[in-house]
Chains A and B, each alone.
Chain A
Amino acid sequence: MKKYFTLLILAIMFAGCDKDDICLEDKTPSLIIRFYDINDQDETKTVELDSIYADGLYAVDDTTSEETDSIAIPLDLNNDFTKYYFESEGLTDTINFTYIRNEIYVSRSCGYIINYEDFEADLSTSNWIKDIEIINNSISDEETAHIHIFH
C-alpha cells in the first residue's frame, strides 16, 4: 500500500501543471506594407524613408532613415481609424486607414487580441506615393503584406 501512496505523490508532483503565466502566443498583428515600383508594378522597389508616424505621435521604430521595401506598422487598437504620415526624401503623404476591430480571445496570459476586418486605406495626398492597393482586407496575421504602396 505504501508503494501506491508514494506513486500517487510522485504522479502528482510530475504530472504537474503547464506554465501559462507568460504570453507566448499571438499578439495583435501589425499592418504589413510592401513598396512596389509604379512603372513596373510586379517589382518591389526600396524606399528611402525619413520616417513614418501616426497623427500626433512619434516615428514608428525602424522607420527613420531606413532604406527598405517592406515595413510593419501598428494600427490604433482603440479607434476604428489610424492616420499615418509617410515621409520620404523630404516629401510627405498621408494615408487614412479605417477598419472594424474584432476582439479574439487567445489565452489566460495573452487575454484578447484585435483582428482588423473590412480594412480600407485612403491616400489623401500624392507627393511621392503614386498609388496604393489593398491585398488583404482582413488583418489577422503578419505572414504576407496587407497593402502595396507604389512609388
Chain B
Amino acid sequence: MKKLLIFIFFINIFNFQLKAQENKAQDSTISNKKYYALRVGLDISKPIIGFTNDEDRTEFEIVADLRFSEKWYAAIELGISDKNTIEDYLDFTTKGSYFKLGANFNAYENWVGMNNEIYIGARYGFALFDQTLNSYTPNVYGTYFEGETIEDGTTFDGLSAHWVEFIAGMKVETFKNLFLGVSISFNKMLSTKEPENFSNLYVPGFNRVFSNDAGIGFNYTISYQIPISKK
C-alpha cells in the first residue's frame, strides 16, 4: 500500500519536473492572470486504503477549491466515513460525515503558463457522527481471572467534533485542467461531544484521535479544473 503511494508520488514529482522543463521554453508574454478558477475532485487514497485494509473501512471525500487571487485559494472538503476500529480491548465502528473549510496559500513560483502549487493551508473541520461499541474486554492484571469479551452493541448517536488543520501539500497539472494533488495535515481538536463512558477515538475527517487531541491526515486527490473563460 505504502509502496504504491510512494510510487505514485514520485511519478508525480517526475512529471512536475518534466513540466517545468517544457515550460521554460515557452513564450513569457502570455498573461497568467486567470484567477477565479474552480477545481473539483476526489480523494482516491481513501477508497484504496478501504480495499487494502483488514479493518472494515469505507470512506469517500470530494474536494473543491476556488482560486480567488494570484496566491490564494478557498478550499472545501466534504466526506463520509464508516470505519471499524479494533484495539486490544475495544472494537467500535464510527459512522458519519464531515466538512472542512479553509484556504491554501500557494508558495510556488510558477513559470508563465504553469499552474502548479506547493502550498500551505488551514482548515476548520466539523463532523457529525455515531459511535457503536461493538464489543469490549474488561482489562485486568494477571491471568487468574481474565475478562470475557462482551458483545455490547451500544450506539452513541448525535456526536460532533470541531477541529483545526494545518496543511502542506502540492498540486500538479498532469494533463490540461487535470490535477494530481497530495497533502498532509496536522489536526488539533477544539471540542467534541463525547459519548458517555466511552470516548471519540476516531472522528470522520479528523481520523484517529490521539490522547493529546491531535491527529494526522493525508489525502491524494485527482481534480479537474472547470474551464471558465474569464480574462
Contact = CB atoms under 8 A, between A and B. Distances in A.
Interface of A: 1-2, 4-5, 8-9, 11-12, 15-18, 20, 23, 27-28, 30, 54, 57, 60-61, 74-78, 103-114
A99 B146 CA distance: 17
A106 B201 CA distance: 12
B201 A74 contact: no
B204 interface: no
Contact of A2 (B107, B147, B184, B199): B107
Given A110-B89, A111-B88, A111-B90, A27 B141 contact: yes
Contact of A28 (B118, B140, B211): B140
A78 B147 contact: yes
B120 interface: yes
Contacts of B90: 108, 111-112
B107 A111 contact: no
B148 A108 contact: no
Nearest to A28: B140
Contacts of A75: 145
Contact of A110 (B139, B150, B184, B214): B139
B120 A108 contact: no
Interface in B122-146: 136-142, 144-145
B211 to A, nearest CB: 4
A28 B211 CA distance: 21
Contacts of A74: 140-142, 144-145
11 contacts: A15-B186, A18-B210, A18-B212, A27-B139, A28-B141, A74-B145, A77-B138, A77-B145, A109-B87, A111-B90, A113-B139
A17 B168 contact: no
7 residue pairs, one from A and one from B, having the closest CB atoms: A111-B89, A17-B210, A28-B140, A20-B211, A1-B107, A18-B212, A18-B211
Nearest to B71: A1
Contacts of B140: 27-28, 74, 77, 113-114
Contacts of B136: 103, 111-112
A54 B140 CA distance: 16
B216 interface: yes
A61 B142 contact: yes
B198 interface: yes
Nearest to A4: B120
A112 B149 CA distance: 11
B141 A8 contact: no
